[in-house]
Structure 1
Amino acid sequence: MSVSDAGRQEVADGLSDEEFVDALPKVELHVHLEGSMRPRTLLALARRHGVDDLPTDIEGLTKFYEFRDFDHFIEVYLAAVRVLRDADDFAVLARETALGLAGQGVRYAEITFTPFLHIQRGIDADELFGGIERGRLDAERETGIQVRWVTDIPGLPNMNLRPASEGTVEFALNRRESVIALGLGGPEVDVPRPQFAEAFTVARDAGLHRVPHAGETTGARTIWDALEYLHAERIGHGIRALDDPALVEHLRAHHIPLEVCPTSNLRTGVVADYPDHPLPTLIELALPVSLNSDDPPMFGTTLRDEYLHALRSLGLRRDQVVGLAAAAVEHSFAPAPLKDALRAEIAAAADRVQAAS
């Protein structure tokens, strides 16, 4: 759909794109807690803890978040998370992240965080988890948003990966009250996925869901590895699935969802610009996909923005965007009663949009 087509749709529906997106209940499946730190919070924590090698104002932080490539993004990410030092810091981060999502109409979110990054810096695991749980529950009491955690193994080339893997799985299994899944991040080309097979097998056997990143910066082989070795139920990003028609057919036949994050892919240089993004093709091929924000402040986006970009920059129709919102519900690990309620909310929103047309 062209920009002019989008304008005609707004007139026909009687709703602006903003009104349409705001009326749509949402689920967020791929967003990182540490990457959701608000700029002013990062600056305040840096001052509080004397982290003096980071930018000291919003303008400087904006330039700091101009990434040359994916490896540079990881470098900046690791520098930024050093401002998180105690339970209060993590409580503020979790509360602000959840409230920010709730303000965009998000009813349920599965938020990824990377405990081993902090534990290896000497932060006590119980203090860390106590902080994010306090923030999560505060936000739920204030807005009703429900948040569950995905613990991410930091697949970084300069890290001792066995302790990172084992420590992350142990952390997750000891905190099942709100941790529902195991993830895996980091540079795919430097850290092949098969070496994490043992950790993901332990997670599977213990009943944890598996949602590794794959096919973001490398080709289809990484996704195959995530399926074969990591027992992946969803794939973080996964846009390079299009490199392999056999993989496309496999994902479609086995209904393995992709968590797609368009602006993230642009900001890390994985995709050149919105018209080049493969999301419309993934939808055309009937692959199960959801729309997500990844590291919103670092990429200058929000989940709301991603839905607007889907309409305006990627040319999706409104019914396709409603489909993305509905797919996020189906792909989530939310309990059945909550899924039923979310399905009903999205159906009601779709009916309101249809009635306005």
Structure 2
Amino acid sequence: MFPSHKTIKNVPLTRVELHVHLDGCVRPETLWDLANEKHFKLPGNGTLGDLKKALVIRDPIDLRHFLQPFQIITPCVVSDLKAMERIATEFCEDKARNGVLYAEARFSPHLWLSAGDCRGDLAGLGEVIQAVTRGFHKGEELFGIKVRTILCSINGMGTANDVLQLCQKFRGEGVVGMDLAGNCMSDLKPYVEVPLNPEELHAFEEARKSGIHRTLHAGESGGPEMVHRAVENYHAERIGHGYHVLESREIYSSILEKQIHLETCPYSSLLTGAVPLSTVKHPIVQFAEDNANFSVNTDDPTVTGVDLQDDYDLVQTWGFTESLLMRANINAAHSSFLPADEKSELLKKLKTFIGFDS
């Protein structure tokens, strides 16, 4: 199934990616295989070409529109541990081909356990995590990169306490942190009136107390108040996306002062409609000019139709230099959720590979 490591051993691994959804990185060819094995109806005439067209969002509308291809992706993977392991291994190969030395891949184990309900028993959820971890271990051996897992809780679905327990159980076995994704942090209006969720607040407070790392989706479609809430109420160490934080000078200044890491995703930001195509200066450019702590990531390559090299090419058209991209990768390594000794090793390896000593 996988080529020899020799076929890609000369690719320089000099990049760190912190915001990428594993279920948004499934190869169309793999989905086509899985759908045919399970006799699922495929888009169009059922060809691989029609499937590829259905998976890629080309016209920016909003976040809900951007997420529609997951209605095709998720059913092909649900409760299929072998498929999850395969997807995780292929993820490693695809990232290595894009020069990734270290990645933190996130996913919701609840969404891969049951098609109709985000809730599930902890034993079953654990099997999902273990299958993904096996795939990452295999991929690391084959392709020479390192991958760790962030577990996503889905806002309003009652999954936060499960995710906390799973992070605690599998800490040291590949899981390095937890995320909160969904409408509350990104897509509801008016933003400041969205009620805080007691279960989620409790889970993230317990995560902070027990040393579980936290990142939250915020400021993608929602306003700067969501970024403030993520940091102050949910104890976020990193922010997924965060573009709209620029709409509040006070909140943005706080993010800069605290050096909260911003996980930016160039192509995704345009295709979700989070940043209008007519924007003269993309928020990522402003982050760079202000020496913010940020990184460049893909989000969902299956849906955007591009991968990390394309995101790097895009920001270079916005004026990013190689030295700025190297700085972003150093930022990402410093802001990774690895234990201190592994983070130190990653930084040493990264600086050696890119010849960057400051």
Measured against the shorter chain, the TM-score band is 0.7 to 0.9
Q: Distance in 1 between matches of 2:49 and 2:239?
A: 34
Judged with a 3 Å threshold, the aligned counterparts in structure 2 of structure 1 residues 79 and 169 are, in CA distance, closer, same or farther, namely: farther
Q: Distance in 2 between matches of 1:24 and 1:323?
A: 15
Q: Distance in 1 between matches of 2:281 and 2:51?
A: 28
Deviation at 1:345, TM superposition (A): 4.0
Identify the match of residue 214 of structure 1 among 214, 218, 222: 218
The C-alpha deviation readout for 1:23-70, integer Å capped at 9, x for no partner, is 560111000000000111111111112221545334323432225421
Q: Corresponding residue for 2:65?
A: 72
Deviation at 1:334, TM superposition (A): 2.3
Is 1:34 paired with 2:23? yes
Q: Distance in 2 between matches of 1:326 and 1:103?
A: 20
Q: Distance in 2 between matches of 1:139 and 1:246?
A: 43
Q: Distance in 2 between matches of 1:193 and 1:184?
A: 15
Q: Corresponding residue for 1:137?
A: 137
Identify the match of residue 104 of structure 1 among 68, 89, 98: 98
Letter in structure 1 aligned against 2:320? L
Letter in structure 1 aligned against 2:286? T
Deviation at 1:350, TM superposition (A): 4.3
TM-score (norm 1): 0.84
Q: Distance in 2 between matches of 1:28 and 1:103?
A: 13
Judged with a 3 Å threshold, the aligned counterparts in structure 2 of structure 1 residues 319 and 202 are, in CA distance, closer, same or farther, namely: same
Deviation at 1:275, TM superposition (A): 5.5
Is 1:89 paired with 2:73? no
Which is worse superposed, 144-153 or 333-342? 333-342
**Structure 2: unaligned runs, 5 residues or longer:** 1-10
Q: Corresponding residue for 2:232?
A: 228
Identify the match of residue 315 of structure 1 among 316, 319, 327: 319
> Does structure 2 conserve the Cα–Cα contact (< 8 Å) formed by 1:39 and 1:61?
yes
Q: Distance in 1 between matches of 2:238 and 2:323?
A: 23
> Does structure 2 conserve the Cα–Cα contact (< 8 Å) formed by 1:46 and 1:54?
no
Which is worse superposed, 266-275 or 208-217? 266-275
Q: Corresponding residue for 1:166?
A: 161
The C-alpha deviation readout for 1:300-345, integer Å capped at 9, x for no partner, is 111122122221x211122111111211111112233443344344
> Does structure 1 conserve the Cα–Cα contact (< 8 Å) formed by 2:242 and 2:262?
yes
Letter in structure 1 aligned against 2:80? D
Is 1:179 paired with 2:175? yes
Identify the match of residue 297 of structure 2 among 285, 292, 296: 292
Q: Distance in 2 between matches of 1:286 and 1:324?
A: 10
Q: Corresponding residue for 2:14?
A: 25
Q: Distance in 1 between matches of 2:310 and 2:243?
A: 19
Q: Distance in 2 between matches of 1:204 and 1:95?
A: 31
Which is worse superposed, 55-64 or 224-233? 55-64
Q: Corresponding residue for 1:12?
A: none
Q: Distance in 1 between matches of 2:101 and 2:160?
A: 31
Deviation at 1:193, TM superposition (A): 7.2
Give the SS at the match of 2:148: strand
Number of aligned residue pairs: give it. 325
> Does structure 2 conserve the Cα–Cα contact (< 8 Å) formed by 1:37 and 1:97?
yes
Judged with a 3 Å threshold, the aligned counterparts in structure 2 of structure 1 residues 57 and 231 are, in CA distance, closer, same or farther, namely: same
> Does structure 1 conserve the Cα–Cα contact (< 8 Å) formed by 2:66 and 2:303?
no
Give the SS at the match of 1:111: strand
> Does structure 1 conserve the Cα–Cα contact (< 8 Å) formed by 2:42 and 2:51?
no
Letter in structure 2 aligned against 1:87? L
> Does structure 2 conserve the Cα–Cα contact (< 8 Å) formed by 1:216 and 1:239?
yes
Q: How does 1:250-265 map to 2 (within 5 A)?
A: 250-265=254-269
Letter in structure 1 aligned against 2:87? L
> Does structure 2 conserve the Cα–Cα contact (< 8 Å) formed by 1:74 and 1:186?
no
Q: Corresponding residue for 2:4?
A: none
Deviation at 1:190, TM superposition (A): 3.3
Deviation at 1:259, TM superposition (A): 0.2
Judged with a 3 Å threshold, the aligned counterparts in structure 2 of structure 1 residues 303 and 327 are, in CA distance, closer, same or farther, namely: same
Letter in structure 1 aligned against 2:188? D
Pick the structure with more helix per residue: 1
Q: Distance in 2 between matches of 1:161 and 1:209?
A: 21
> Does structure 2 conserve the Cα–Cα contact (< 8 Å) formed by 1:193 and 1:225?
no
TM-score (norm 2): 0.84
Judged with a 3 Å threshold, the aligned counterparts in structure 2 of structure 1 residues 43 and 240 are, in CA distance, closer, same or farther, namely: same
